[in-house]
Amino acid sequence: MLAETAFVTPATPYHPGEEAAVPARSQIGLHAAKLGLQGGAFAVFALVLLIFALSSPIFLSPFNLGNILAQSAISGVLAIGLTVVIIAGGGNVVTGGIDLSLAANMGLSAAVYASLSQAGQPDAVAAGAALATGLVIGAVNAVAVTRFAIVPLLATLAVMNIVGGLELVLTQNTVIPAVTPLLETLSGAGPLGVPVLAYGLIGFALVTALAVQATPLGLRIQAVGSFPEAARASGLAVNRFVAGSFLFSGLSGGLAGIFSAAYLSGSTTGAGELLLPVVVTALLGPVFSRRLVPSITGTLLSALFVGVLINGFQLLNLSSTLVSGIQGLLILLVVSATTLLKRKEG
Amino acid sequence: MTTPPSDTIIRLDGIEKSFGGAKALSGVSLAIERGTVHGLVGQNGAGKSTLIKLLAGLHQPDAGTIEIDGQRLTHITPHAVESLGIHFIHQDRLLVPTFTVGEALFLGREPRIAGTPFLDRRQMQRRAREVLQRYFGLSLPNSALIADLSTAEKQIVQITRALLDQPKVLVFDEPTAALVKREADLLFQLIRRLREDGITVIYISHYLQEIEALCDRVTVLRNGRDVATKALSETSASEIAGLMVNREIGDLFPVREKAPGEPLLTVDRLSAPGRYHDVSLTLHRGEVLGLIGLLGSGAKEFLRTLFGLETAASGTVTVQGQAPWQASPVQAARRRLALVPEDRRRHGVALDLSVKENTTLASLSRFTRLGLIDRTAEESETDRLITRLQVKTEGREALLRTLSGGNQQKVAIAKWLSRQSDIYLLDEPTVGVDIAAKVEIYALIAELAEKGAGVIVLSSDLNELIGLTDRILIFFRGEILRTVTSETATVDALLADVTGSSELTRHAG
Amino acid sequence: MTALSPSLAPQTRRRLALGSRHALPVALVAVFLLFSALAPGFLSLANLESVLVNNFTLLSIVAIAMTFAIAAGGIDLSIGTAVDFASFSFVTLVLSGQPVPLALAAGLGGGALVGLFNAVLIAGIGISPFLATLGTLFIGRSVQQLLTNGGNPVYLPPAGVPESFRFLGRGTVAGLPVPLLVAGAIILIAGLILSRSRFGRVVSATGTEAEVVRYSGLTLKAHLAGTYVLVALIAAVAGLVLTSTVTVYIPSSGNAFLLNAIGAAFIGTTLHPHGRPNIAGTVLGVLLLSLVANGLLMSGLNFYWQQVGTGLLIFTVLALSFASRKA
């Protein structure tokens, strides 16, 4: 009785410790490949750091490292917001979680902040309005995706157009300068001579990482994104988590808007240019995580990796335009590797 | 065994349920005593899964009442059922693959570090280790992800998850389908222990031996009715088998001129390690061959290999003397093989394509001139097949989604008729098909054979195999255990062969 | 379409077919009437021609290319890269003194190269189209920067090269502008391919239920590969027309079409009884976007309201059609 099922799967011993002693050869290969994929990203990061450190004397100076962090602050905050949407919506970029309106959101929020400051409003009002702008955009996305059931890719694409247009209307496609105490503090140097923006990025990443990776709420968000049926079976209201993730990414857009106003001393045009780099940064995040899944810390590392590349290329007087190619190649390599791995496992 | 106090924990009365005109349940009544293991058996289509889905609150009954713990339920939702202490161990394991065992176990009721909003991972790991050790003697590393576990281990995690809720009733739906013997034995020990702890178990299985070994009482379903409920102490596996089988449907099957012609398909010592081994057969023109075997017996994998969906390690497949080929569905279809796959809604037909588009999908080249489809030819071919197969549809432009299961299946077959295939591989051709369409499909299969095609039917419906085929090949543990002539085959003997109980008897004797 | 739409119950499918199918034509008529009333110059022949030539032509070609990718259940984010590569190859050959027909062929080849690269990634390796074409887009951007010393435009001077390179962009045949004729030809051919050809049927089936295509003994991978090459080829035509019109190649400028092309193709799906991507729908979608852009401009509204208007319009059409599917 029952022994016929032995043909379905090889029997797995009940003590995987024993099993590890005599795994099939192909299994070893798969594990090695997986480890390689996980470790490889860190190794590449370390190698890049090493090369830049050796070729440029100032690369490792605290000032420069702080600079990298500050430069990465805007795209980092956006990528982290996007990562939360991806975690809650699932890894399928078309039907799953994606927020294409993030970069435009940042542009509009920055413009709102700058215009209000210029109109003489105090920082608290301007900053509050910028964050509220982001939140409203997030709410529109949330309603479009969970109520109207528009696939996120299309919903956020349409919202991106509207938001980008509103920014143009507000700024008449001009730069709105803003000099306020808040912006001066943010763009100035903080403790240890490191820019305050750098602390901003680290702080935001830390709080988000704790919430997503160390709380029950975070665990549930992960469950909702990676296996909605399992989450539903555990009594979780999937749509609420998805809506919440869009609200959060909206808020990230608002925060990035304030950061960008600080970094550029006002609002500038062309925020939309940042969209695809941010998407790639978030999608590259999983290779910097232990389980090869989207994670906040992974995305932070991915953002810093891109920041380091841009900074290093500048120091070495190389064209930083190569960065985009490297990002593209990396993403294709990583995804090809995971796809081929999966095919072998399947 | 101490006799538990005899009171009813679940009572179903006169349950009826139809899906789009097809009656799945026509009056099922069932009483389950507290603290017992209650078996539920029946052939495919007898209504087991519908009944379980009703109990789980996934469907609402058309008529009848459900009482749990003496409390009559009016509107049954999954949540209400769970709050009454009824938990289900489903066949598809609902666990997040990227979670650790601890995370999967405690999702939705995570322990926190006292006074903080943070997950207490250490406690999760510790308690996970504890419960897995206590219930199953199973120890998994803290870092093990669900994706790394074996099927059995995943199932154990899911059972443990249910046990954490201190359930009153646990429902197991074919729990051993993917377990090896040792794992299954562990499961049986656990179920007996659950019963000692006063938990009621509903156990659904194909394997009568399991029912015999495990259950206190058993209910047999047939054609959407409960035909009997027996105490295991008063019945036997063979009596239960007898109750499961329809004796009165012999005339569903068409009488067919059985005159096999030249060989169409020859399989010589085909092997795929871990799946099947040294399988040889010859299919002649005008012949209908039956395959039967439980999940994991290799029968399904063998059939899929013939169509090029899986690869064999050694052996050859020859069609009408042509050289063996590089296996792929493209090559198979070119050699006039046709597969009507088991998963009709994902593989057989595209629900969002029209009847016409589905019908001609495999034979588009026939209607193509200079790259463009000849609409008139395509439409008249579709209409011809709709008429010939009596497909009930609003028209050739209707989406497949709007057709009943039986009519979808007819389109899945029509697709290959249009391709003018010679060899038809039918994988569970009548699952989810109502009785009227079943009879039509049987007639169609007979007609195909009479016109010179060769047909291989893989089915777990024993009556169907006996009524429809010339010979039946019984797969057991990856080999052909024996080949029987359908005319002399009996359901009881087939059942014994398929489940391996004839083997056991022989060894015992 | 299944890849992009939530699974729908049969009765809601039917309701969709009856209800929201008219959303696009109605919107088109409404927009037309609205701007005829609001904007004095809107209805003039000169303005309508300018809508067709300036707003409609190039976007319609790119959006049609995108329609094939979406019909096959995917997407092509690198569609602008194909436009750019075609443009670059064309400009380079014209400048090096090659005859214009050869330069045109090279342009098509340059675009097709991008499609071939995507085909290998998607059909060969099995990467999801979104990620594959995103990677291509980024690599393509760097390659163009490298080819142009960091992103400098390459001009086709009026002197020293044959005048005929302008024909595709600025010529007329029987009084009709050549770009419009090219767009018309592409619309016809693409319509024939997608709705009448065997290839188009298999592509649509792939986008609906790829596994059924494989189980029907069809070459799934070959059709996927073919789709992405075709997408790039059609986009390349847009690149050639664009370059011939503006007589300059600007690196990575093709991306400007990406989002509107996706938007138009999806708006177009509302026209199909079963919600599938289709050429007629895409063309009407592009027409709608073009009319709105022009109409807003003509009504004296600030130029920047255009984007808000188009965005709101796309959002409304999507919300109407998806919400009615969900209901």
CA distance B349 to chain C (A): 6
Domain containing residue C182: CATH number:
1.10.3470
In a domain, B192, yes or no: yes
pLDDT at position A31:
63
- Touching chains, B (3+ CB pairs < 8 A): A, C
Residue C325 lies in a domain: no
In chain C, the residue whose alpha carbon lies closest to the alpha carbon of A140 is C315
DSSP H or E run through B318:
strand B314-319
Minimum distance, in Å, between the CA of residue B455 and any CA atom of chain C: 17
ipTM rounded to 2 decimals: 0.85
Is B155 buried (19+), middle (13-18) or exposed (0-12) by CB count in 10 A? buried
A225: closest CA among A160, A184, A167, A286? A286
Q: Is residue C6 part of a domain?
A: no
Of B334, B347, B364, nearest to C211 by CB-CB distance is B347
Claim to verify: residue B121 and residue B159 sit in the same structural domain? yes
Note whether C215 contacts B347, CB cutoff 8 Å.
yes
C271 inside domain: yes
Which residues in chain A show pLDDT less than 70? 1-38, 92-95, 319-320, 342-346
Q: Report the DSSP beta bridge partners of residue B73.
A: B66
Domain that holds residue B405: 359-419
Between positions 96 and 115 of B, the ones with CB within 8 A of A are 96-99, 103, 107-108, 110, 112
Our CA-based measurement puts residue C102 at a distance from the nearest CA of chain B, in whole angstroms, of 27
Closest-CA residue of C relative to B341 is: C215
Q: Identify whether C3 is part of a domain.
A: no
Residue A289 lies in a domain: no
Question: Amino acid letter at B253?
Answer: F
Q: Which subunits count as partners of chain A given 3+ CB pairs below 8 Å? A: B, C
Backbone phi and psi for residue B249, each to the nearest 5 degrees, phi listed first: -110, 20
pLDDT in tens, B97-125: 888 899 988 888 888 888 888 988 889 98
Question: In this prediction, what percent of chain B has a pLDDT beyond 90?
Answer: 28
Q: What is the DSSP string of C293-311?
A: HHHHHHTT--TTHHHHHHH
Residue of chain B nearest A223, judged by CA positions: B96
Residues of chain B in contact with residue C201, where contact means CB-CB under 8 angstroms, are: 357, 361, 364, 373
Q: Do C215 and B329 make contact, defined as CB atoms within 8 angstroms? A: yes
Of A107-111, B239-243, B270-274, C51-55, the least confident: B239-243
Confidence of residue B20 (pLDDT cuts 50, 70, 90): low
Task: For chain B, positions 433-472, list CB contacts with chain A under 8 A.
Answer: none
Percent of chain B with pLDDT over 70: 92
Residue A49 inside a domain? The answer is no
Q: Are residues B21 and B145 in the same domain?
A: no
CA distance, residue B507 to nearest chain A CA (Å) = 12
Q: How many CA atoms lie within 13 A of B426 on its CB side?
A: 36
pLDDT reported for residue A93 = 66
Contacts 24+ apart (CB under 8 A), A310-317: A310/A71, A311/A52, A311/A59, A311/A64, A311/A67, A311/A68, A311/A71, A312/A48, A312/A51, A312/A52, A312/A56, A312/A59, A315/A52, A315/A55, A315/A56, A315/A58, A315/A59, A315/A64, A316/A52, A316/A55, A316/A56
Residues B456 and B496 both lie in one domain: yes
Contact B352 C208 (CB under 8 A): yes
Q: Same domain for B189 and B218?
A: yes
In a shared domain, residues B200 and B137? no
B372–C198 C-beta distance less than 8 A? yes
Give the number of other Cβ atoms within 10 Å of residue B217's Cβ: 19
- Which residue numbers of B have CB closer than 8 Å to C's CBs? 309, 329-330, 332-334, 339, 341, 346-354, 357-358, 361-362, 364-365, 368, 371-373, 375, 399, 401-402, 415, 419
The domain in which residue A74 lies consists of: 63-271
> Bridge partners of B86?
B169
Spans of chain C, pLDDT less than 70 = 1-20, 323-327
Residue B396 lies in a domain: yes
Domain assignment present for A343: no
Question: Quick one: B332 and B258 in the same domain?
Answer: yes
* Residues B328 and B438 reside in one and the same domain: yes
- Closest alpha carbon to B29 in B61, B5, B6, B59: B61
The partner residue sitting opposite A94, judged by closest CB among C75, C127, C151, is C75
- Closest Cβ opposite residue C205 in set B329, B350, B419: B350
CATH number at residue B50: 3.40.50.300
Alpha-carbon distance B285 to nearest alpha carbon in chain C (angstroms): 22
Query: Which residues, 6+ apart, have CB-to-CB distance to A306 below 8 Å?
Result: A72, A75, A277, A281, A323, A327
Residue where a domain terminates, one of B140, B166, B192: B166
Question: In this structure, are B275 and B392 located in the same domain?
Answer: no
Pairwise CA distance, residues C68 & C189, whole Å: 12
Q: Which residues from chain C sit within 8 angstroms of residue A147, using beta carbons?
A: 323
Q: What's the pTM?
A: 0.81
Cα B28 to chain centroid distance, Å, stands at 21
In the structure, what pLDDT confidence band is assigned to residue B144 with cuts at 50, 70 and 90? confident
Residue B402 included in any domain:
yes
A171 to chain C: closest CA residue: C304
Q: How confident is the model at residue B174 (pLDDT cuts 50, 70, 90)?
A: confident
Is the pLDDT score of B283 beyond 50?
A: yes
C285 to chain A: which residues are within 8 Å by CB? none
Total tally of structural domains belonging to chain A: 1
Residue that finishes a domain, picked among B385, B403, B419 = B419
Measure in Å the smallest separation between the Cα of B289 and chain A Cα atoms: 22
Mutate: best of A219, A238, A295, A345, partner B, most B CBs <10 A: A219
Residue C16 within any structural domain of the chain = no
**Model confidence over A2-52: pLDDT tens digits?**
332 222 222 222 232 233 333 344 455 556 666 666 677 788 888 888 988
Give the per-residue pLDDT at B251. 63
| pLDDT of res. B474 | 92
Inter-chain touch B295–A8, beta carbons under 8 Å: yes
Decide which of B244, B261, B288 is a domain's last residue.
B244
On chain C, the residues whose CB falls within 8 A of the CB of B330 are: 217-219
Beta carbons within 8 Å of C308's beta carbon, 6+ residues apart: A161, A162, A165, A166, A168, A169
DSSP for B29-68, please give it. EEEEETT-EEEEE--TTSSHHHHHHHHTTSS--SEEEEEE
Q: Are residues B193 and B292 in the same domain?
A: no
Name the domain count of chain C: 1
- Chain C positions in Cβ-Cβ contact with residue A321 (cut-off 8 Å): 141-142, 145-146, 150-151
Min Cα separation C198/chain B (Å): 6
Domain assignment of residue A191, yes or no: yes
Average pLDDT, chain C: 86
- C216 contacts B333? CB cut-off 8 A: yes
CB C287 within 8 A of CB C263: no
In angstroms, rounded to a whole number, what is the distance separating the alpha carbons of residues C193 and A289? Answer: 45
- Domain range for C107 is 22-319
Number of domains in chain B: 4
